Structure 1
Amino acid sequence: MSAVDTAEGPAVHLDSARGWVTACGAAIVVMAGFGSIYSFTAFANDMAEEFDTGLGPISIVFGITVFLYFGSALVSGRLYDRFGIVPLLIVGGALFVGGLVATSQVTVLWHGYVLYGIGLGFGGGLFNAPLFALTATWFDKHRAMAQGLVATGSGLGTMIYVPFAQRLLAEYGWRVGMRWLAVIAAAILVFGLLVIRQPPRVHVGSPRRHLSLVVRTATFWQMGTSGIFFTIAVIGTIGLIIPFSIDDGVAELAAGWLVFVVGLSSIVGRLALTSLARPLGSIRLLKIAFGGLPVAYAIWFITTRVDAPGTKYVLLVVFASVLGVSYGGFVALLGDVTAYLFGLANIGAVVGIFFFFSGTGALIGPPLLGFTHDASGGAGVPILMVGVIAFAGVLVLLPLTRHPLALPTYIGPGGMPSPTPPRTAAPPRPLAPVRSPGTAPVPAAARSVQRPPLTANATASSSASAAIPRARPLHDALMVAMSRPRSAALRDAPPEVFWPVADETISPNGQS
């Protein structure tokens, strides 16, 4: 991504009011995206009856859609890094709204695979992952909270849209219901275009080289694999929780309220866990959030063995609450953990690849649960199976490192680099890494300020950044992440990150 010199340095836009407005706009757009897609669970039974199929074939529509919604981030992340968010909102929004309208007209089920999948899946995916990457570049101190706010949009969509879709279904049928959702989505996307803004562009070193180094690390594949297990379980559940509950003897309206509980508790999980990210660390909380999934599925499996309707529904509400908190917390923390472990260089592409992993799990989950349900004649076997899958994901994620990757291209989230200095000004040369700040004198000629290594629960970064002069744009020049020795003692240690300070004789316009 090329740098653009601006009078307003990154220190000005980070954690600003403009950033919070953008995060709120992103949350509302995310709400429309997830809510419209997840409303499919309210339409599933009626669609299955009209097309004379079981839950398996119908669930393929949902699986393809969510796969493309997450998986298209493999493309949209790179497009975002190059073009920004506005073109993706326009093109993706048009496909999204068009997909809803076109699906409402289908007369053959496989047409829904194409129209609903490409329209809502690929179209929504063009702006979904980039909105999370965009938010990460607006914040430093409050990055976890801002990511949680955006992720809250998916919880709001689940909480509001599914009961609303049930009302539309009861009043008008699923076809007219989809058209109403298209009108609402169009209005929200226009609103998003008005309030969402791109932050000042900054130079982030060698993004392509950084991405190639990131994908070669074990940490990257560890997070990607756990993401696949996570979405197999969660997306499969959200897509089929209503028909599964109805099959288990729960009334249709009461089954719809379970999705409302999932959405509400996911909001609680997002806000609660992200608010604890600074004192406890996002990585630790990410593992805790994932650990709640096997507990949730154990409760859900117990409900299939309970005959008393009142007790069964209470247990289902507990299951939906635990599932929502785990789901919400994991999604909200994922963006902050990604920025912390892998840095900000080419963050759109890195986030996009992780969304692709999630999409792969989403493609597997709903059909796997749907066809297993049809083959076994009940919900018990698929619930037990998805609980085992969730437990396997926990085992994969548990050894995740707590330190940023020691990559030479790492641009840490403890601060943002300034626009690239003018070509006429020679870039300052950073000092060699120093083990502890203050233990060795810093030569005056180097004119660099060292900040302490980042940690998951560090609070010193904000005070260190305050020590850097903010009056001159070049004082927040490009950070340089230095390579660490790969000895056994230092293999997992975070890299030292430097903020070189430009020579005071060089003015912002490059003149001495």
Structure 2
Amino acid sequence: MKASIIGIAYCLPGVGVFQAYYQTHQLQNDSPSTVSWIPSGPFTGRLFDKNGPKSLLLVGTFLHVFGLMMASLATKYYQLLLSQAICSPLGAGMILYPLFSCVATWFQERRALAMDITASGSSLGGVVLPILINWMLPKVGFAWAMRTCSFVILTLLIITNLTVRSRLPPKPKPTNIGNYIRHFADPAFLLTVLASFFFSMGMRIPITFLVTFGEVVGMSAKMAGYLAAIYNTTSGVGRILPGYAADKLGNFSISAFAAGLSTVVVFALWLPGHSPALAIAFSTVFEFTSGTYTATNPALVAQISDISEIGTRSGSLYAVPIGGALLANKNGSYWEMQVFTGVMLAAGTLFYILARWYLAKGRLWIKI
């Protein structure tokens, strides 16, 4: 139950739904490239190792909810950028890393499954919140739809702040740039970071543009809005089952396999898909395969890291929202963005395979 609350509380409400809404309302004169920067934002790193989760969760809760509340008042692009692209994601990042890092400290056996269950909570939030937003937008308007989501998230984050704790006490350490750079001298960590970077760059493009793509292939705006909920419905299964399998077969083995499947799904379903049926099929299958990244990636970092530095190493790279620029360059045609997505996922798959190969010292049939 606590894991589900954690995941729902972190979930950024309706990224794909708001991408479509902004393009047709407040920011209808701006390009998809410009609008796509709004659901993105930076994350924070090392403070968990130094101070523990409590202060990060408290500050993160304030920033996350405050940003969403301010977005409900926004009418200009810069206002949405400051609130939903900077303030809210910064707070969400301060919530996310302590949560996963805390879970990692409590488990040695079945760590992947525990972290996948935690991540599955965001799938539940990804089902409930887009449906709530889609239902509320035409009835009460953008402002109160956003505020309602903010109050739901605030309630869950209060529970999170009261219940989350780490098994290990904080260990104050001096902070300098060397603390971050030295980790990249570890080949396993470097390959994992590269895999994460390329895969997340590809994975986040369909999430952002799924609703607008549904409208392009003939779905009604209301039905297209439910694609985000469909997408997240399968992600719960797609995040828990890989965790169970990863504990049996190895985190890196499952991550490489799932990344490869995600690449195939993009090229086999999304690229040739020009109908509502294929849009629904893609949203269903893609999250089942790509959800492994969200759920298992923290377990990869924990596996190759000293437990006292899990928080620092969990500060993964953030993907630049280049997808909107590709969409604008093709006058609304999605094929170039779809190909770019597939190539990024393929690159991520390659680096997952290389990381596994390095850790396994070239041996194929071994749990890694």
Q: Same fold (TM over 0.5)?
A: yes
Conservation of the 8 A alpha-carbon contact between 2:199 and 2:347: no
The structure-2 alpha-carbon separation of the partners of 1:383 and 1:403, relative to structure 1 and needing over 3 Å to count, comes to closer
**Residue matched to 2:105:** 137
The structure-2 alpha-carbon separation of the partners of 1:322 and 1:206, relative to structure 1 and needing over 3 Å to count, comes to farther
State the Cα distance separating 1:35 from its structure 2 match: 3.8
**Residue matched to 1:373:** 327
Conservation of the 8 A alpha-carbon contact between 2:67 and 2:88: yes
Match of 2:11 among 6, 10, 34: 34
Mapping 1:94-113, distance limit 5 Å: 94-113=62-81
**Residue matched to 1:347:** 310
**Residue matched to 1:397:** 352
The structure-2 alpha-carbon separation of the partners of 1:140 and 1:313, relative to structure 1 and needing over 3 Å to count, comes to same
Conservation of the 8 A alpha-carbon contact between 2:113 and 2:247: no
State the Cα distance separating 1:386 from its structure 2 match: 1.4
Conservation of the 8 A alpha-carbon contact between 1:163 and 1:260: yes
Match of 1:302 among 256, 272, 294: 272
**Residue matched to 2:20:** 45
* Larger CA Rg, structure 1 vs 2: 1
Deviations 1:178-209 (A, max 9, x none): 11111111111111122222324388999999
Distance 2:6 2:295 in 1: 16
Deviations 1:408-464 (A, max 9, x none): xxxxxxxxxxxxxxxxxxxxxxxxxxxxxxxxxxxxxxxxxxxxxxx9749xxxxxx
1:252 and 2:252 aligned: no
Distance 2:181 2:339 in 1: 38
State the Cα distance separating 1:213 from its structure 2 match: 4.8
Match of 2:278 among 315, 318, 342: 315
The structure-2 alpha-carbon separation of the partners of 1:212 and 1:46, relative to structure 1 and needing over 3 Å to count, comes to closer
Match of 2:205 among 236, 258, 264: 236
Distance 1:100 1:158 in 2: 16
**Residue matched to 2:94:** 126
Answer with 180-189 or 341-350: which moved more: 341-350
1:190 and 2:166 aligned: no
Alignment root-mean-square deviation, CA: 2.7
Unpaired runs of 5+ in structure 1?
Answer: 1-23, 305-311, 407-454, 459-512
1:386 and 2:341 aligned: yes
Conservation of the 8 A alpha-carbon contact between 1:246 and 1:252: yes
1:81 and 2:35 aligned: no
1:148 and 2:116 aligned: yes
Distance 2:148 2:280 in 1: 29
1:264 and 2:239 aligned: no
Answer with 193-202 or 149-158: which moved more: 193-202
Tell me the matched-pair count: 360
State the Cα distance separating 1:258 from its structure 2 match: 2.1
The structure-2 alpha-carbon separation of the partners of 1:34 and 1:219, relative to structure 1 and needing over 3 Å to count, comes to same
State the Cα distance separating 1:73 from its structure 2 match: 2.8
Distance 2:357 2:335 in 1: 37
Distance 1:59 1:204 in 2: 38
State the Cα distance separating 1:47 from its structure 2 match: 2.3
State the Cα distance separating 1:118 from its structure 2 match: 2.5
Structure showing greater relative contact order (alpha-carbon pairs closer than 8 Å, 6 or more residues apart)? 2
The structure-2 alpha-carbon separation of the partners of 1:41 and 1:401, relative to structure 1 and needing over 3 Å to count, comes to closer
The structure-2 alpha-carbon separation of the partners of 1:267 and 1:327, relative to structure 1 and needing over 3 Å to count, comes to same
State the Cα distance separating 1:285 from its structure 2 match: 0.3
**Residue matched to 1:56:** 33
Distance 2:158 2:360 in 1: 39
Distance 2:133 2:147 in 1: 11
**Amino acid in structure 2 at the alignment position of 1:167:** W
**Residue matched to 2:134:** 166
Conservation of the 8 A alpha-carbon contact between 1:232 and 1:386: yes
Conservation of the 8 A alpha-carbon contact between 1:204 and 1:344: no
Q: Secondary structure at the match of 2:167?
A: coil
**Amino acid in structure 2 at the alignment position of 1:244:** F
State the Cα distance separating 1:240 from its structure 2 match: 1.2
The structure-2 alpha-carbon separation of the partners of 1:333 and 1:220, relative to structure 1 and needing over 3 Å to count, comes to same
Mapping 1:344-493, distance limit 5 Å: 344-352=307-315, 354=316, 357=317, 359=318, 361=319, 364-365=320-321, 368-377=322-331, 378-401=333-356, 457=367
The structure-2 alpha-carbon separation of the partners of 1:97 and 1:211, relative to structure 1 and needing over 3 Å to count, comes to closer
State the Cα distance separating 1:117 from its structure 2 match: 2.1
Match of 1:92 among 57, 60, 71: 60
The structure-2 alpha-carbon separation of the partners of 1:109 and 1:202, relative to structure 1 and needing over 3 Å to count, comes to closer
**Residue matched to 1:334:** 297
State the Cα distance separating 1:381 from its structure 2 match: 2.3
Distance 1:98 1:167 in 2: 23
State the Cα distance separating 1:171 from its structure 2 match: 1.3
Distance 1:191 1:178 in 2: 20
Deviations 1:291-340 (A, max 9, x none): 12211211111113xxxxxxx33322321222112221122211222121
State the Cα distance separating 1:348 from its structure 2 match: 0.5
Conservation of the 8 A alpha-carbon contact between 2:38 and 2:85: yes
Conservation of the 8 A alpha-carbon contact between 1:223 and 1:397: yes
Conservation of the 8 A alpha-carbon contact between 1:261 and 1:324: no
State the Cα distance separating 1:350 from its structure 2 match: 0.7
Unpaired runs of 5+ in structure 2?
Answer: none
Conservation of the 8 A alpha-carbon contact between 1:92 and 1:126: yes
Distance 1:201 1:182 in 2: 31
**Residue matched to 1:291:** 260
The structure-2 alpha-carbon separation of the partners of 1:392 and 1:405, relative to structure 1 and needing over 3 Å to count, comes to closer
